Chain A
Amino acid sequence: NAGVTQTPKFQVLKTGQSMTLQCAQDMNHEYMSWYRQDPGMGLRLIHYSVGAGITDQGEVPNGYNVSRSTTEDFPLRLLSAAPSQTSVYFCASSYSPGATYEQYFGPGTRLTVT
C-alpha cells in the first residue's frame, strides 16, 4: 500500500492564482481530511469528508474548496491564493471520524504564496 499520497510536495503561487492540491489514499478509508500547519498553532482542520459525495467544513475553511467524487481522492482547491495561505498542508485518512482509529497522514505540501 502507498498509504496517503500528496502532490505536489512544494508549490509557489502568486497572489490571486488558483491551484489544486492532490490527495489520494489506497486503504479504502471513508474519512479524509485536510489540515494546515502553521508555526505554533498545531494542525487546524480545513475541510473533511466522511465518504464519497459528502464534505463539510472544519475550523478554517475560508478560501478553500473540496470535493469527494471517489473514496480514494480528496483534492483541495485554493480559489484565489493569498499570502495568509502560506502554510504546510497535510491530508489524512482514517476508517472513521474520531472513534478508535488513528489518522494516517500524507507527507505534506509546502505552499508559499507571494
Chain B
Amino acid sequence: AQKVTQAQTEISVVEKEDVTLDCVYETRDTTYYLFWYKQPPSGELVFLIRRNSFDEQNEISGRYSWNFQKSTSSFNFTITASQVVDSAVYFCALSILGQNFVFGPGTRLSVLP
C-alpha cells in the first residue's frame, strides 16, 4: 500500500528565513509520481510541482526548490527567504500509474513578519 508521511504538523519561521518541509513516501512500485500542493488561507489547492520516479534531479523555481532522494524515499521542499505570502498548508502526494492519489496530512507553515 502507498503512504505519505509529513512529520511536521506545523512550522513557524520569521520572514526571510529558509524552511524545509519534509515528505517521506512508501511504495513498492518502481514507477510513481510525487507532487506538492499549496493550500493558502483562502482554501484553494494550488499545484506546485510534479516529479516522476526516474528523474532524481533537483528542481529550483525561484525561491522554491525540491530535493528528491529515492534512497531515503523523500521528496523535500525548501523555501528560501520565506515571505508572509508563503503561509499556507503544504501537501505532498504520491500517485502510482493508473491508481489514485495518496495525500500526506499536510504541514502548516506560518511565516511571521
Contact = CB atoms under 8 A, between A and B. Distances in A.
Given A33-B100, A42-B106, A100 B50 contact: yes
A69 to B, nearest CB: 21
Give the dominant DSSP class at A's interface. loop
A22 B37 CA distance: 23
B33 interface: yes
Contacts, number: 57
Given A41-B105, A100-B52, A90 B45 contact: yes
B62 interface: no
B100 A48 contact: yes
A97 B50 contact: no
Interface of B: 9, 33, 35, 37, 43-45, 47, 50, 52, 91, 95-101, 103-106
Interface of A: 33, 35, 40-45, 48, 58, 88, 90, 92, 96-105, 107-108
